[in-house]
Amino acid sequence: MTTATTATRTDAGLLQLIWLASPALPVGGFSYSEGLEAAVEAGCVRDEASAAAWLAQQLHASLARSDVAVVGEAVDAARRGDLPALAALDDWVRQTRETSELRQQSEQMGRSLGEWRRSLDAPASRAVPAGEREYTYPVAFAVAAAPSGAACRDIALAFAFGWSENMMQSAIKAVPLGQAAGQRVLARLAREIPAAVDHALALPPQRRQAFSPMLAILSAQHETQYSRLFRS
């Protein structure tokens, strides 16, 4: 009986992570490219090889050192019920978004994830629970995943893979690439994710950073790009 109960809990946690990482989750991630569309416009990304290299670099140089690190800290804070710590992490995310479109993306996706999470518990109410704010996406993801009981590393892996799958789909549309090429790009990112997550979770809070000058410049240019498919 104990074995069956443990297996059931493990299965439930795994399924929760798969659910949260799914591109079908109604948070609007499909509408953002996080600067990739501008990179294509600027000629930095031209084909499968350059798309894979660009996204792998973004994973290590940007996502791992900021959002994935935040997810790790936020999971621990959520499990402690530490609302001030969650608020501080959320403030950090907002303050380190270098363009308005990147900030709007994180705020919108976080708000949508929070509404989805609350709708499962109370379909008739979309109100924010007492003491909780509308979190940005990395913090909202951690808050949604924390009750699963999954290990913090597994939650971070799911977050990074969800990001990778969304970016692969963005590359298919923006470069453009075929489906097979997109899967090869995703395979490259999947190989890179464990090391990126381990790096992120080992970072002390004072070493978190979101300094990505080229990405910020491209995102700023994208805000006024004449023709575009994505919101970032």
Q: What is the mean pLDDT of each run of 10 residues along the chain (232 residues)?
A: 56 91 89 93 96 97 97 96 95 95 95 90 50 88 94 97 96 96 98 98 94 90 84 77
Cβ burial of 25 (10 Å; 0-12, 13-18, 19+) is middle
Supply the pLDDT for residue 122.
52
- State the pLDDT at residue 23: 84
pLDDT on residue 52: 98
At residue 229, the pLDDT reads 86
Q: Using alpha carbons, list the distances in angstroms from residue 136 to 78, 88, 139, 162, 174.
A: 14, 11, 6, 16, 25
d(CA 89, CA 30): 25
Q: What burial class does residue 142 get, using C-beta atoms within 10 Å of its C-beta: 0-12 exposed, 13-18 middle, 19+ buried? A: buried
Q: What was the pLDDT predicted at 119?
A: 86
Give the pLDDT score at 55. Answer: 97
Task: From the options 2.60.120.10, 1.10.4190.10, 3.40.605.10, 3.10.129.10, give the CATH code of 45-218.
Answer: 1.10.4190.10
Instruction: Tell me what pLDDT residue 211 has.
Output: 86
What confidence score (pLDDT) does residue 2 get?
Answer: 45
Asked whether the beta carbons of 79 and 146 are under 8 A apart, the reply is yes
Residue type for position 220? A
